[in-house]
Amino acid sequence: KVSLKKSINKLKSDSLASVDWGGNTYEWSEDVKSTLKNIFKIDSFRPKQLSAINSTLSGQHALVVMPTGAGKSLCYQLPAVVKPGITVVISPLVSLMEDQVRSLTNKNIPAMLMTSTSAKEDTNTALNALKDKNTNIKLLYVTPERLAKSKRFMANLQKCHADGRLQRIAIDEVHCCSQWGHDFRPDYKYLGILSNMFQNVPILGLTATATAHVLNDVQKILNISGCLVIKSTFNRPNLYYKIIEKPTSQEDCLTILEKLLKYRYKGESGIIYTNSIKDSEDLADGLRKRGLRVGCYHANMEANSRSKVHLKWHEKSFQAIVATVAFGMGIDKPDVRFVIHHTISKSMENYYQESGRAGRDSCRAECVTLYRMQDIFKVSSMVFSSVGRLDHLYGMVKYCLNGTFCRRQQIAEHFDEDWGDADCNKMCDVCSNPNTSCREISLELHCKTISSILENAEKQDTKLTAQKLLDAWFLKGPVILRHKGKEPNFSRSIGEDVITFLLVQGYLIEDFHFTAYSTISYIKKGPNMDSIGDVNFVLKMELRKFTEFHLDRPAPKDDEIVINTMNGQCEQGKKTNKRKSTVEKNSKKTK
């Protein structure tokens, strides 16, 4: 019975998916067009916006998957205006809702917001709007906890539904339902009741999380399995992706950042992301001492000074903002020419979002990540306690570690897309050095050595961090922890890559311990290490290609106007004036 239901759902979704929903011949099409122009003052839709709008106006459940900044809000705001009744929008972040209500109010679209901290009067007005047949309110924003915990709200919503005035339920950031997403929120679980409670009310879920795993889970939790999924591409052809080996000392890191800002990105605007408040302050100070104009931005700053920093960056009196991920909301600067990650992101999803703030104007921009093994543990000791977070982090690490496969393809795979081989256009460090040959190393014997070091340490009652493990392997540090063999015949930095490779492949695992001040990550043998005794055991690792990247020469300018898949429009088509890239040169530096 279950499988029958499944196949019916599959059939349903296949036939739904074969309709494109992008047409202009629906009964509402004229209204949609005029509302877009006259009320939203927008000339044309971006890719898939019209499909999303038509499909939800047709009354079915749908999930809309688009990158951040692509314009998901319009997909429920416009239908809300076109049809009578109220659209309830569930969104996790109050600040985002406030922004939206403000912008709707400016367009003379009556909208309200209800959170657990709203003033009593406002709450009453909102609650009454649900009951009042004559209300002019078109959109009502609520937080999921409000919905889950307020009986009165639910009662009024049922009244609204009974009166036939509940037009649609939009669930923003809908991936928050799923534990497998990168941003699980327990209150989103309760939203599963909506599809049953409000029969015939279309649910529209919106997210920038595209993995099939999460989307399936979301459908299950919301009880809308097999619903239509409308997805726009995640490819950003104008972004150049690059990994740089991160030096061990902060001073050396500063030198890299200084050069990038002074020469490669001279006169351009950008963002430098790091993972702690202290790092953001230290880096900003360091760069200022080196004569650069940068601002600092993190969650511990007053809202007021945050706005000031943001403004100064906007008007270009700051070249860059050194920020934690707290800097994200409301960045609508189109000409961000570089996003540098001083520390890796918590997941590929986060990375895509953070780096995606570059090049919104469709001109060439660069996304540069400074990576070294030690940073994995800085991040893992912050995220390990949540379900699935380590896997997400390791996804990010795999991306940094893989220097032989097009970065864009790696991102495409992550988002379950296929952008095709030709699509990179040499816009990543791997593709811009196609001729550098790859080298593979065999890890069978190294696994045995590493395993023996860990066993020996355990006998000594000693725990090893990745650094200590590396020391012992390279015959450094306390003699008692070293192994009996020879040290590896490659550099320590390749050694770091090997340990990392074994970690993300499950041959090693992290083991977290707590002190009063911090969490320490130690390394233990992982489940896959059991197979190293098998006679047929083979494990190979491709070495990263190290490609030269001129920190001290201007980045290539945007000679061609890239077709921006995000805007779906190409202002002038491609100019063919391709300047020869002066930036990338093949150089193999596998010491």
Residues that bind Zn ion (CB under 5 A): 406, 408, 424, 428, 431
Q: Are 166 and 88 in contact (CB under 8 A)?
A: yes
- Residue 512 pairs in a beta bridge with 521
CA 436 vs. chain centroid, Å, equals: 30
Q: In the complex with Zn ion, which residue's Cβ is closer, 426 or 483?
A: 426
How would you classify the pairing of strands 166-171 and 203-207?
parallel
Q: In whole angstroms, how close is the CB of 297 to ligand ADP at the nearest point?
A: 20
**Nearest distance in Å: CB 355, ligand ADP:** 15
The entry of Zn ion, Mg ion, ligand ADP, none that residue 70 binds, CB within 5 to 8 Å by partner kind:
ligand ADP
Cβ proximity to ligand ADP: between 70 and 257 the closer is 70
Q: Whose Cβ is closer to Mg ion: residue 77's or residue 123's?
A: 77
Strand partners, 295: 321
By CB neighbour count within 10 A (0-12 exposed, 13-18 middle, 19+ buried), where does 481 fall?
A: buried
Closest to Mg ion by CB, 110 vs 328, is 328
- In whole angstroms, how close is the CB of 590 to Zn ion at the nearest point? 20
241 binds, among Mg ion, ligand ADP, Zn ion, none (CB under 5 to 8 A by kind): none
CB of 574 to Mg ion, least distance (A): 31
CB of 169 to Zn ion, least distance (A): 40
User: Min. distance of Cβ 70 from ligand ADP in angstroms?
Assistant: 4
Give the C-alpha separation, 168 to 140, whole Å: 11
Per CB under 5 A, the segment of 67-75, 231-239, 403-411, 492-500 that binds Mg ion is: 67-75
CB-nearer residue toward Mg ion: 94 or 543: 94
What Å distances lie between residue 505 and 351, 401, 434, 463, 540, CA to CA?
Answer: 21, 12, 26, 21, 11
Contact positions vs ligand ADP (CB under 6 A)? 42, 45-46, 49, 66, 68-74, 332
For 117-164, the three-class secondary structure string (H helix, E strand, C coil) is: CCCHHHHHHHHHHHHCCCCCCCEEEECHHHHHHCHHHHHHHHHHHHCC
Which residues are within 8 A (CB) of 422 and not within 5 positions of it... i.e. 6 or more apart? none
Indicate the length of the chain as a whole number: 591
Q: Residue 69 touches which of ligand ADP, Mg ion, Zn ion, none (CB < 5 to 8 A by kind)?
A: ligand ADP
Distance of CA 342 to the CA centre of its chain: 16
Measured CA to CA, the distance from residue 50 to residue 67 in angstroms comes to: 16
Smaller CB separation from Mg ion, 68 or 125? 68
Residue 45 near which of Mg ion, ligand ADP, Zn ion, none (CB within 5-8 Å, type-dependent): ligand ADP
- Name the β-bridge partners of 62: 204, 228
Q: Is 232 or 275 the residue whose CB approaches Mg ion more closely?
A: 232
Least separation in angstroms between residue 219's CB and Mg ion is 20
Choose from Mg ion, Zn ion, ligand ADP, none: what does 46 bind? Cβ within 5-8 Å by kind. ligand ADP
Q: Using CB distances below 5 to 8 A depending on partner kind, what does residue 42 bind out of ligand ADP, Zn ion, Mg ion, none?
A: ligand ADP
Angle among Cα 356, 274, 500 to the nearest 5 degrees reads: 90
- Whole-angstrom distance, CA of residue 271 vs CA of residue 320: 5
> Taking contact as CB under 5 A, which single stretch among the options 72-80, 381-389, 400-408, 581-589 is the one that binds Mg ion?
72-80
Q: Which CB sits closer to ligand ADP, 121 or 332?
A: 332
Closest residue (Cβ) to ligand ADP?
71
Residue 253 site contact among Zn ion, Mg ion, ligand ADP, none (CB < 5 to 8 Å, cut-off depends on kind): none
* 410 phi and psi angles, rounded to 5 deg: -60, -40
Cα end-to-end span (Å), the chain: 61
Q: How far is the CB of 80 from ligand ADP (least distance, A)?
A: 13
Other Cβ atoms less than 10 A from the Cβ of 586: the count is 13
DSSP string, 280-298: HHHHHHHHHHTT--EEEE-
Question: Shortest gap between Cβ of 42 and ligand ADP (angstroms)?
Answer: 5
CB of 569 to ligand ADP, least distance (A): 9
**Residue among 250, 293, 127, 245 at smallest CA distance from 545:** 245
CA pair distance 556, 587, nearest whole angstrom: 19
Q: Are 150 and 184 in contact (CB under 8 A)?
A: no
Shortest distance (Å) from residue 77 CB to ligand ADP? 8
Instruction: Count interface residues toward Mg ion (CB under 5 A).
Output: 1
* Both structure tokens of 531: 């197979």
Name residue 140's beta-bridge partners: 88, 112
Tell me whether residue 70 or residue 396 sits nearer to ligand ADP (CB atom): 70
Q: Which does 406 bind (CB under 5 to 8 A by kind): Mg ion, Zn ion, ligand ADP, none?
A: Zn ion
Query: Binds 74, which of ligand ADP, Mg ion, Zn ion, none (CB < 5 to 8 A, cut-off by type)?
Result: ligand ADP
Binding-site partner at residue 53 among ligand ADP, Zn ion, Mg ion, none, CB < 5 to 8 Å by type: none
Residues making contact with Mg ion (CB under 5 A): 72
